Amino acid sequence: MIKGLIFDLDGVITDTAEYHFLAWKSLAEKIGIEIDREFNEQLKGISRMESLELILKHGGKEEAYTEAEKEELATQKNEEYKTYIKEITPDDLLPGVDTLLKEAKEKNLGMVLASASKNGPAIMESLEIMDLFDGIVDPASLKAGKPDPEIFVKGADMLNLKPEECVGLEDAEAGIESINAAHMFSVGVGSRDAMKEADYAVESTADLDLDTILEKANQD
């Protein structure tokens, strides 16, 4: 019996991917590396430092900076990103998400955010949805990022539920892998090809229907 929903943030609840792209592109340009939207797809769902390592590798500069300098570069990117997310309002909830969250609350389903973003709490405050959630997994507490299942297992723990009693919702391939490894029912948002490993997938958040998700997950 499904009793909890565990959400990724970017691409599921809101879309700050564009802001991440602009901030990474700006940083990359400052250090003489060009990145485009296609390359940016690789940065979805992974941590800030992992993203920076991929950018440095892409530009052939993985050995050019000390760890301390890399930390400083990542901080610069985050500061620019934070100026963008200050503009977020409840209008930035993705289509259908407001209804989904409110229906889940009405059904007394537990809800937790499981995002690699350390800015998750600030974004949720701006979206005015913090009161609908029972908790946020602190990404700083994790030993391993997605596709490791730890973040989703911790999400279930926060609700005092087993992973099998929860549904995980994701838009990144690494995230779906993470949910599946946690032995949780996985719901994917995105193209059929990218979400082929999900237990159930829709192309847009507008297609997320709580009754359908619960029916499919409870049959699993």
Residue 210 annotated as binding site = no
For residue 11, say whether it is annotated as part of any ligand binding site.
no
107 annotated as ligand-binding: no
Q: Is 103 annotated as a binding residue?
A: no
Q: Is 157 annotated to bind ligand?
A: no
User: Is there a catalytic annotation at residue 10?
Assistant: yes
Whether residue 10 is annotated as binding a ligand: the answer is: yes
Cβ atoms < 10 Å from Cβ of 18: 11
**DSSP line for the chain:** ---EEEE-SBTTTB--HHHHHHHHHHHHHHTT----HHHHGGGTTS-HHHHHHHHHHHTT-TTSS-HHHHHHHHHHHHHHHHHHHTT--GGGBPTTHHHHHHHHHHTT-EEEE--S-TTHHHHHHHHT-GGG-SEE--GGG-SS-TTSTHHHHHHHHHTT--GGGEEEEESSHHHHHHHHHTT-EEEEES-TTTTTTSSEEESSGGG--HHHHHHHHHH-
Q: Does the annotation place 8 within a ligand binding site? A: yes
How far apart are the C-alpha atoms of 28 and 64, rounded to whole Å? 13
| 73 labelled ligand-binding | no
**Is 92 marked active-site?**
no
215 annotated among ligand-binding-site residues: no
Q: Active site residue: 10, 98, 131, 199, which one?
A: 10
The CB density around residue 73, as the number of other CB atoms within 10 Å, is: 20
Is there a binding annotation on residue 119? yes
Question: Does 117 belong to an annotated binding site?
Answer: yes
Residue ranges for the binding site?
Answer: 8-10, 24, 43-48, 51, 77, 115-119, 146, 170-171
Residue ranges for the binding site for substrate?
Answer: 8-10, 24, 43-48, 51, 77, 115-119, 146
> Which residues form the catalytic set?
8, 10
Residue ranges for the binding site for Mg(2+)?
Answer: 8, 10, 170-171
